[in-house]
Chains A and B, each alone.
Chain A
Amino acid sequence: MEPDAQLVQQCLRGEGPAWEELVRRHTRRVFNLCYRFTGNSTDAQDLSQEVFLRIYRTLPSYRAAYGAFPTWLTSVTRNLLVDHYRRTRHDRMTDSIDDAMPVLEEKHSKARTPDKLAESAELSVQLQRGLARLSPELREAVILRDLQGLDYNEIQTVLAVPEGTVKSRINRGRIELARILEEMGLRPA
Protein backbone atom coordinates (compact mmCIF):
# COMPACT_ATOMS: atom_id res chain seq x y z
CA MET A 1 0.00 0.00 0.00
CA GLU A 2 1.35 3.35 -0.98
CA PRO A 3 1.86 5.90 1.80
CA ASP A 4 -0.42 8.90 1.97
CA ALA A 5 2.38 11.33 1.10
CA GLN A 6 3.00 9.52 -2.17
CA LEU A 7 -0.69 9.53 -3.00
CA VAL A 8 -0.80 13.25 -2.30
CA GLN A 9 2.05 13.83 -4.72
CA GLN A 10 0.26 11.76 -7.36
CA CYS A 11 -2.89 13.80 -6.77
CA LEU A 12 -0.95 17.00 -7.30
CA ARG A 13 0.22 15.59 -10.63
CA GLY A 14 -3.42 15.20 -11.58
CA GLU A 15 -3.75 11.44 -11.19
CA GLY A 16 -7.41 10.75 -10.49
CA PRO A 17 -6.99 7.20 -9.16
CA ALA A 18 -4.66 8.48 -6.42
CA TRP A 19 -7.34 10.89 -5.20
CA GLU A 20 -9.91 8.12 -5.30
CA GLU A 21 -7.61 5.94 -3.20
CA LEU A 22 -7.11 8.74 -0.68
CA VAL A 23 -10.86 9.24 -0.39
CA ARG A 24 -11.57 5.53 0.00
CA ARG A 25 -8.83 5.18 2.59
CA HIS A 26 -9.93 8.05 4.86
CA THR A 27 -13.68 8.41 4.35
CA ARG A 28 -14.59 6.15 7.26
CA ARG A 29 -12.26 7.95 9.62
CA VAL A 30 -13.67 11.36 8.67
CA PHE A 31 -17.26 10.12 8.76
CA ASN A 32 -16.79 8.60 12.22
CA LEU A 33 -15.26 11.78 13.58
CA CYS A 34 -18.14 13.84 12.17
CA TYR A 35 -20.74 11.36 13.35
CA ARG A 36 -19.37 11.11 16.88
CA PHE A 37 -19.25 14.87 17.13
CA THR A 38 -22.62 15.71 15.62
CA GLY A 39 -24.53 12.53 16.47
CA ASN A 40 -26.39 12.86 13.21
CA SER A 41 -25.78 10.69 10.17
CA THR A 42 -27.04 13.20 7.62
CA ASP A 43 -24.93 16.00 9.06
CA ALA A 44 -21.96 13.65 9.21
CA GLN A 45 -22.34 12.79 5.52
CA ASP A 46 -22.64 16.43 4.51
CA LEU A 47 -19.68 17.40 6.65
CA SER A 48 -17.58 14.51 5.33
CA GLN A 49 -18.29 15.64 1.80
CA GLU A 50 -17.43 19.22 2.76
CA VAL A 51 -14.18 18.07 4.35
CA PHE A 52 -12.98 16.27 1.24
CA LEU A 53 -14.07 19.15 -0.95
CA ARG A 54 -11.92 21.48 1.11
CA ILE A 55 -9.05 19.00 1.11
CA TYR A 56 -9.32 18.71 -2.67
CA ARG A 57 -9.15 22.48 -3.09
CA THR A 58 -6.36 23.08 -0.60
CA LEU A 59 -4.27 20.02 -1.35
CA PRO A 60 -1.59 22.06 -3.19
CA SER A 61 -1.04 24.02 0.02
CA TYR A 62 -0.41 20.88 2.06
CA ARG A 63 3.16 20.48 3.25
CA ALA A 64 4.67 17.57 5.11
CA ALA A 65 5.78 20.10 7.74
CA TYR A 66 2.14 20.41 8.80
CA GLY A 67 2.30 16.83 10.02
CA ALA A 68 1.17 13.54 8.59
CA PHE A 69 -1.68 13.65 6.10
CA PRO A 70 -4.20 12.03 8.53
CA THR A 71 -3.35 14.68 11.11
CA TRP A 72 -3.90 17.45 8.58
CA LEU A 73 -7.11 15.79 7.49
CA THR A 74 -8.28 15.61 11.09
CA SER A 75 -7.42 19.30 11.57
CA VAL A 76 -9.51 20.27 8.59
CA THR A 77 -12.34 18.07 9.82
CA ARG A 78 -12.18 19.51 13.31
CA ASN A 79 -12.22 23.09 12.01
CA LEU A 80 -15.28 22.35 9.92
CA LEU A 81 -16.96 20.68 12.88
CA VAL A 82 -16.35 23.75 15.01
CA ASP A 83 -17.74 25.96 12.23
CA HIS A 84 -20.75 23.69 11.99
CA TYR A 85 -21.25 23.76 15.73
CA ARG A 86 -21.16 27.56 15.82
CA ARG A 87 -23.42 27.80 12.81
CA THR A 88 -26.07 25.58 14.35
CA ARG A 89 -25.73 26.74 17.94
CA HIS A 90 -28.84 28.87 17.89
CA ASP A 91 -30.90 26.23 16.17
CA ARG A 92 -29.91 23.49 18.52
CA MET A 93 -31.63 22.54 21.74
CA THR A 94 -29.98 20.18 24.14
CA ASP A 95 -33.08 18.11 24.72
CA SER A 96 -33.75 17.69 21.05
CA ILE A 97 -30.21 16.46 20.49
CA ASP A 98 -30.79 13.66 22.95
CA ASP A 99 -34.11 12.75 21.42
CA ALA A 100 -32.81 12.88 17.90
CA MET A 101 -29.80 10.72 18.58
CA PRO A 102 -30.00 7.88 16.09
CA VAL A 103 -29.20 4.28 16.68
CA LEU A 104 -25.67 3.65 15.56
CA GLU A 105 -25.16 1.28 12.70
CA GLU A 106 -22.00 -0.52 13.48
CA LYS A 107 -20.03 -3.05 11.56
CA HIS A 108 -20.23 -6.25 13.48
CA SER A 109 -18.30 -9.44 12.96
CA LYS A 110 -20.34 -12.50 12.10
CA ALA A 111 -19.01 -14.34 15.12
CA ARG A 112 -20.83 -12.05 17.54
CA THR A 113 -23.97 -13.39 19.09
CA PRO A 114 -27.25 -11.46 18.88
CA ASP A 115 -27.08 -10.74 22.60
CA LYS A 116 -23.63 -9.26 22.23
CA LEU A 117 -24.75 -7.31 19.22
CA ALA A 118 -27.71 -5.84 21.05
CA GLU A 119 -25.59 -5.08 24.09
CA SER A 120 -22.92 -3.42 21.99
CA ALA A 121 -25.47 -1.40 20.01
CA GLU A 122 -27.13 -0.23 23.20
CA LEU A 123 -23.79 0.73 24.72
CA SER A 124 -22.90 2.61 21.57
CA VAL A 125 -26.14 4.56 21.73
CA GLN A 126 -25.60 5.45 25.38
CA LEU A 127 -22.03 6.55 24.77
CA GLN A 128 -23.12 8.68 21.84
CA ARG A 129 -25.79 10.34 23.93
CA GLY A 130 -23.27 11.00 26.66
CA LEU A 131 -20.83 12.51 24.18
CA ALA A 132 -23.55 14.82 22.87
CA ARG A 133 -23.95 16.30 26.33
CA LEU A 134 -20.30 17.19 26.65
CA SER A 135 -19.12 20.67 25.76
CA PRO A 136 -17.59 20.84 22.26
CA GLU A 137 -14.05 21.38 23.57
CA LEU A 138 -14.18 18.35 25.84
CA ARG A 139 -16.10 16.28 23.31
CA GLU A 140 -13.59 16.76 20.51
CA ALA A 141 -10.71 16.00 22.85
CA VAL A 142 -12.26 12.72 24.00
CA ILE A 143 -13.24 11.73 20.46
CA LEU A 144 -9.79 12.42 19.07
CA ARG A 145 -8.07 10.58 21.88
CA ASP A 146 -10.32 7.62 22.63
CA LEU A 147 -12.23 7.08 19.40
CA GLN A 148 -9.79 8.28 16.76
CA GLY A 149 -6.75 7.03 18.66
CA LEU A 150 -4.59 10.13 18.17
CA ASP A 151 -1.68 10.68 20.53
CA TYR A 152 -1.25 13.85 22.51
CA ASN A 153 1.09 15.50 20.01
CA GLU A 154 -1.31 14.91 17.14
CA ILE A 155 -4.22 16.27 19.14
CA GLN A 156 -2.10 19.28 20.03
CA THR A 157 -1.50 19.86 16.31
CA VAL A 158 -5.15 19.38 15.41
CA LEU A 159 -6.54 21.60 18.14
CA ALA A 160 -3.68 24.11 17.96
CA VAL A 161 -3.50 24.38 21.75
CA PRO A 162 -0.68 23.66 24.23
CA GLU A 163 -0.06 20.13 25.39
CA GLY A 164 -1.17 20.99 28.92
CA THR A 165 -4.53 22.13 27.58
CA VAL A 166 -4.88 18.94 25.59
CA LYS A 167 -4.20 16.80 28.64
CA SER A 168 -6.56 18.84 30.75
CA ARG A 169 -9.38 18.64 28.21
CA ILE A 170 -9.00 14.91 27.75
CA ASN A 171 -8.98 14.32 31.49
CA ARG A 172 -11.94 16.57 32.20
CA GLY A 173 -13.81 15.16 29.23
CA ARG A 174 -13.44 11.59 30.42
CA ILE A 175 -14.45 12.39 33.99
CA GLU A 176 -17.41 14.46 32.82
CA LEU A 177 -18.54 11.76 30.40
CA ALA A 178 -18.34 9.12 33.14
CA ARG A 179 -20.53 11.25 35.37
CA ILE A 180 -23.02 11.88 32.59
CA LEU A 181 -23.27 8.18 31.87
CA GLU A 182 -23.78 7.48 35.55
CA GLU A 183 -26.62 9.98 35.59
CA MET A 184 -28.07 8.17 32.60
CA GLY A 185 -27.95 4.95 34.56
CA LEU A 186 -25.07 3.45 32.63
CA ARG A 187 -22.16 2.46 34.80
CA PRO A 188 -19.06 1.51 32.81
CA ALA A 189 -17.73 -1.89 33.75
Chain B
Amino acid sequence: MDWNCKFSEERLSDYLDGKLSPAEASAFAVHSGGCRNCAQLVAQVGGLVGQLHQLREIEEPADLVQNILDATIGPRTQSGGWKKWFSWVPVLWQPRFVMGVVTVAATLAIVIHTSGVTPAKLKRADFSPTSIVRSANRQVHLTYARSAKFVNDLRVVYEIQSRLQPGPEPSPASAPLPEQRSPQQTTPQQKSEKDPPRDRSQVRGGSMFAALLPSSVPGNVVATFAWSPQ
Protein backbone atom coordinates (compact mmCIF):
# COMPACT_ATOMS: atom_id res chain seq x y z
CA MET B 1 0.00 0.00 0.00
CA ASP B 2 1.30 3.42 -1.00
CA TRP B 3 1.00 5.25 2.35
CA ASN B 4 1.88 8.92 2.69
CA CYS B 5 1.84 11.71 5.29
CA LYS B 6 -1.68 12.79 4.37
CA PHE B 7 -3.02 9.30 4.99
CA SER B 8 -1.18 9.15 8.29
CA GLU B 9 -2.71 12.36 9.49
CA GLU B 10 -6.23 11.40 8.33
CA ARG B 11 -6.10 7.93 9.87
CA LEU B 12 -4.11 8.81 12.94
CA SER B 13 -7.02 8.36 15.39
CA ASP B 14 -8.06 5.13 13.71
CA TYR B 15 -4.52 3.89 14.23
CA LEU B 16 -4.44 4.98 17.88
CA ASP B 17 -7.90 3.50 18.53
CA GLY B 18 -7.06 0.25 16.77
CA LYS B 19 -9.63 0.76 14.04
CA LEU B 20 -7.27 0.09 11.11
CA SER B 21 -7.12 -3.21 9.35
CA PRO B 22 -3.88 -5.17 9.84
CA ALA B 23 -2.66 -4.19 6.39
CA GLU B 24 -3.42 -0.51 6.99
CA ALA B 25 -1.86 -0.61 10.42
CA SER B 26 1.29 -2.20 9.00
CA ALA B 27 1.55 0.42 6.25
CA PHE B 28 0.97 3.18 8.79
CA ALA B 29 3.72 1.85 11.03
CA VAL B 30 6.14 1.47 8.15
CA HIS B 31 5.53 5.03 6.99
CA SER B 32 5.78 6.52 10.45
CA GLY B 33 9.02 4.64 11.03
CA GLY B 34 10.59 6.36 8.06
CA CYS B 35 8.97 9.81 8.37
CA ARG B 36 10.20 12.07 11.12
CA ASN B 37 7.21 14.42 11.04
CA CYS B 38 4.67 11.62 11.12
CA ALA B 39 6.56 9.85 13.90
CA GLN B 40 6.56 13.06 15.90
CA LEU B 41 2.84 13.58 15.27
CA VAL B 42 2.01 10.03 16.35
CA ALA B 43 4.03 10.42 19.55
CA GLN B 44 2.52 13.79 20.28
CA VAL B 45 -1.13 12.87 19.72
CA GLY B 46 -0.67 9.42 21.26
CA GLY B 47 0.73 11.01 24.39
CA LEU B 48 -2.13 13.51 24.50
CA VAL B 49 -4.76 10.77 24.23
CA GLY B 50 -3.04 8.84 27.00
CA GLN B 51 -3.06 11.93 29.21
CA LEU B 52 -6.72 12.64 28.46
CA HIS B 53 -7.63 9.07 29.38
CA GLN B 54 -5.72 9.39 32.63
CA LEU B 55 -7.42 12.62 33.51
CA ARG B 56 -9.59 11.94 36.49
CA GLU B 57 -13.17 12.94 36.80
CA ILE B 58 -13.83 16.18 38.58
CA GLU B 59 -15.79 15.85 41.78
CA GLU B 60 -19.02 17.77 41.50
CA PRO B 61 -19.84 20.42 44.16
CA ALA B 62 -21.33 18.93 47.29
CA ASP B 63 -24.69 20.65 46.97
CA LEU B 64 -25.21 20.05 43.26
CA VAL B 65 -27.18 16.82 43.64
CA GLN B 66 -29.35 18.41 46.31
CA ASN B 67 -29.94 21.48 44.15
CA ILE B 68 -30.95 19.29 41.23
CA LEU B 69 -33.36 17.31 43.38
CA ASP B 70 -34.80 20.52 44.80
CA ALA B 71 -35.29 21.90 41.29
CA THR B 72 -36.98 18.75 40.04
CA ILE B 73 -38.95 17.08 42.81
CA GLY B 74 -39.01 20.01 45.21
CA PRO B 75 -37.14 20.86 48.40
CA ARG B 76 -36.77 18.11 50.90
CA THR B 77 -35.67 18.08 54.49
CA GLN B 78 -32.58 16.03 54.91
CA SER B 79 -30.99 15.47 58.27
CA GLY B 80 -28.47 12.75 58.47
CA GLY B 81 -26.91 10.81 61.30
CA TRP B 82 -28.10 10.71 64.88
CA LYS B 83 -29.55 14.22 64.72
CA LYS B 84 -32.58 13.05 62.76
CA TRP B 85 -33.61 10.89 65.74
CA PHE B 86 -33.83 13.99 67.95
CA SER B 87 -35.25 16.41 65.42
CA TRP B 88 -38.61 16.28 67.26
CA VAL B 89 -37.15 17.49 70.59
CA PRO B 90 -37.54 21.25 69.92
CA VAL B 91 -41.27 20.66 69.47
CA LEU B 92 -41.53 19.88 73.18
CA TRP B 93 -40.63 23.43 74.08
CA GLN B 94 -43.31 25.05 72.01
CA PRO B 95 -46.03 26.72 74.18
CA ARG B 96 -48.74 25.12 72.08
CA PHE B 97 -47.45 21.63 72.87
CA VAL B 98 -47.09 22.41 76.60
CA MET B 99 -50.63 23.80 76.76
CA GLY B 100 -51.90 20.68 75.00
CA VAL B 101 -50.17 18.40 77.48
CA VAL B 102 -51.54 20.37 80.45
CA THR B 103 -55.06 20.28 79.01
CA VAL B 104 -54.91 16.54 78.43
CA ALA B 105 -53.60 15.96 81.96
CA ALA B 106 -56.37 18.09 83.48
CA THR B 107 -58.99 16.28 81.43
CA LEU B 108 -57.66 12.91 82.54
CA ALA B 109 -57.63 14.02 86.17
CA ILE B 110 -61.26 15.17 85.94
CA VAL B 111 -62.35 11.96 84.23
CA ILE B 112 -60.54 9.79 86.76
CA HIS B 113 -61.94 11.78 89.65
CA THR B 114 -65.53 11.72 88.43
CA SER B 115 -65.38 8.03 87.63
CA GLY B 116 -64.53 7.32 91.23
CA VAL B 117 -61.13 5.84 90.58
CA THR B 118 -58.58 6.44 93.30
CA PRO B 119 -55.10 5.95 91.87
CA ALA B 120 -53.61 5.26 95.32
CA LYS B 121 -55.99 2.35 95.88
CA LEU B 122 -55.48 0.76 92.50
CA LYS B 123 -54.20 -2.78 92.56
CA ARG B 124 -52.63 -4.88 89.90
CA ALA B 125 -55.73 -7.02 89.67
CA ASP B 126 -57.81 -3.96 88.81
CA PHE B 127 -56.15 -3.79 85.43
CA SER B 128 -57.33 -7.22 84.33
CA PRO B 129 -59.90 -7.04 81.51
CA THR B 130 -62.54 -8.74 83.68
CA SER B 131 -62.19 -6.18 86.45
CA ILE B 132 -62.22 -3.29 83.99
CA VAL B 133 -65.39 -4.56 82.29
CA ARG B 134 -67.09 -5.28 85.61
CA SER B 135 -66.18 -1.86 86.97
CA ALA B 136 -67.33 -0.12 83.83
CA ASN B 137 -70.61 -2.04 83.89
CA ARG B 138 -71.20 -1.09 87.52
CA GLN B 139 -70.34 2.51 86.81
CA VAL B 140 -72.77 2.63 83.90
CA HIS B 141 -75.59 1.21 86.02
CA LEU B 142 -74.86 3.63 88.85
CA THR B 143 -74.88 6.54 86.45
CA TYR B 144 -78.16 5.37 84.97
CA ALA B 145 -79.75 5.00 88.41
CA ARG B 146 -78.60 8.47 89.45
CA SER B 147 -79.92 9.93 86.24
CA ALA B 148 -83.28 8.21 86.66
CA LYS B 149 -83.57 9.45 90.22
CA PHE B 150 -82.68 12.97 89.17
CA VAL B 151 -85.30 12.92 86.43
CA ASN B 152 -87.96 11.65 88.87
CA ASP B 153 -87.12 14.39 91.36
CA LEU B 154 -87.38 16.97 88.64
CA ARG B 155 -90.74 15.59 87.62
CA VAL B 156 -92.08 15.96 91.20
CA VAL B 157 -90.77 19.47 91.49
CA TYR B 158 -92.32 20.55 88.20
CA GLU B 159 -95.61 18.95 89.15
CA ILE B 160 -95.68 20.81 92.45
CA GLN B 161 -94.77 24.07 90.76
CA SER B 162 -97.50 23.65 88.17
CA ARG B 163 -100.14 23.10 90.86
CA LEU B 164 -98.93 26.04 92.90
CA GLN B 165 -99.48 28.43 90.07
CA PRO B 166 -102.84 30.33 90.50
CA GLY B 167 -105.67 29.27 88.26
CA PRO B 168 -107.35 31.54 85.74
CA GLU B 169 -109.44 34.45 87.04
CA PRO B 170 -113.21 33.75 87.03
CA SER B 171 -115.05 35.47 84.23
CA PRO B 172 -117.29 38.45 85.10
CA ALA B 173 -120.35 36.61 83.75
CA SER B 174 -120.01 33.74 86.16
CA ALA B 175 -119.08 35.94 89.10
CA PRO B 176 -121.97 36.78 91.49
CA LEU B 177 -123.29 40.31 91.49
CA PRO B 178 -122.41 42.53 94.45
CA GLU B 179 -125.99 42.81 95.65
CA GLN B 180 -126.48 39.04 95.44
CA ARG B 181 -123.58 38.37 97.76
CA SER B 182 -124.36 37.03 101.17
CA PRO B 183 -123.34 39.10 104.12
CA GLN B 184 -120.66 36.60 104.93
CA GLN B 185 -119.14 36.98 101.54
CA THR B 186 -116.55 39.68 101.32
CA THR B 187 -114.23 40.90 98.71
CA PRO B 188 -110.60 39.97 98.99
CA GLN B 189 -109.82 43.54 100.04
CA GLN B 190 -112.43 43.46 102.75
CA LYS B 191 -111.25 40.07 103.84
CA SER B 192 -107.72 41.32 104.11
CA GLU B 193 -108.93 44.18 106.21
CA LYS B 194 -110.95 41.89 108.49
CA ASP B 195 -108.62 38.95 108.81
CA PRO B 196 -105.46 39.43 110.66
CA PRO B 197 -102.36 38.92 108.54
CA ARG B 198 -101.26 35.37 108.65
CA ASP B 199 -97.81 34.04 108.66
CA ARG B 200 -96.34 33.87 105.16
CA SER B 201 -95.14 30.37 105.56
CA GLN B 202 -98.44 29.20 106.83
CA VAL B 203 -100.25 30.65 103.86
CA ARG B 204 -97.90 29.14 101.41
CA GLY B 205 -97.80 25.85 103.22
CA GLY B 206 -101.53 25.58 103.47
CA SER B 207 -102.09 26.46 99.85
CA MET B 208 -99.47 24.00 98.81
CA PHE B 209 -100.92 21.09 100.69
CA ALA B 210 -104.37 22.06 99.45
CA ALA B 211 -103.14 22.07 95.90
CA LEU B 212 -101.65 18.63 96.32
CA LEU B 213 -104.95 17.11 97.44
CA PRO B 214 -107.23 15.57 94.85
CA SER B 215 -110.05 17.78 93.58
CA SER B 216 -112.71 15.38 94.91
CA VAL B 217 -111.94 16.36 98.50
CA PRO B 218 -114.59 18.76 99.88
CA GLY B 219 -113.64 22.38 100.37
CA ASN B 220 -114.22 22.46 104.16
CA VAL B 221 -112.00 19.45 104.54
CA VAL B 222 -109.48 21.25 102.50
CA ALA B 223 -109.79 24.28 104.73
CA THR B 224 -109.46 22.16 107.86
CA PHE B 225 -106.53 20.34 106.44
CA ALA B 226 -105.03 23.51 105.16
CA TRP B 227 -105.01 25.12 108.55
CA SER B 228 -104.02 22.09 110.48
CA PRO B 229 -100.46 23.35 110.98
CA GLN B 230 -101.91 25.98 113.24
Contact A146 B64 (CB under 8 A): no
> Which chain B residues lie closer than 8 Å to A174 at the CB level?
12-13, 16, 45, 48-49
* A106 with B72: CB separation less than 8 A: no
| Nearest CB on A from B45, distance (A) | 5
| A146-B53, A187-B44 known; A32-B68 Cβ under 8 A | no
Q: Is A133 an interface residue (CB 8 A)?
A: no
**Closest residue on chain A to residue B57 by CB atoms:** A32
Q: Which residues of chain B are near A53, meaning CB under 8 Å?
A: 68, 71-72
- One digit per residue, 1 when the CB lies within 8 angstroms of any chain B CB and 0 when it does not, for chain A 14-33 equals 00100110011001110110
**Which of the four size classes fits the interface of chain B?**
20 to 34
A171 interfacial contact with B, CB 8 Å: yes
Q: B47: shortest Cβ distance to chain A, in Å?
A: 3
**Bound-state Cα–Cα, A108 to B73, Å:** 32
Number of A-B contacts (CB under 8 A): 112
B14 / chain A contacts, CB cutoff of 8 Å? 167, 171
Do A171 and B12 have beta carbons less than 8 Å apart? yes
CB-nearest residue of chain A to B9: A175
What CA separation (Å) do A19 and B70 show in the bound complex? 12
User: Are A177 and B48 in contact, CB atoms less than 8 angstroms apart?
Assistant: yes
Q: Majority SS of interface residues in chain A? A: helix
Which of A44-52, A66-74, A76-84, A85-93 interfaces with chain B? A44-52
Q: Does B34 contact A (CB under 8 A)?
A: no
Chain A interface size band reads 35 or more
A-B contact pairs, 14 of them (CB 8 A): A24-B65, A28-B59, A32-B60, A48-B64, A49-B67, A53-B71, A105-B58, A124-B55, A127-B55, A174-B45, A174-B48, A178-B44, A178-B45, A182-B44
* Contact surface of A with B, Cβ cutoff 8 Å: 16, 19-20, 23-24, 27-29, 31-32, 35, 41, 45, 48-49, 52-53, 56, 104-108, 120, 123-124, 127, 142, 146-147, 167, 170-171, 174-175, 177-178, 181-182, 187-189
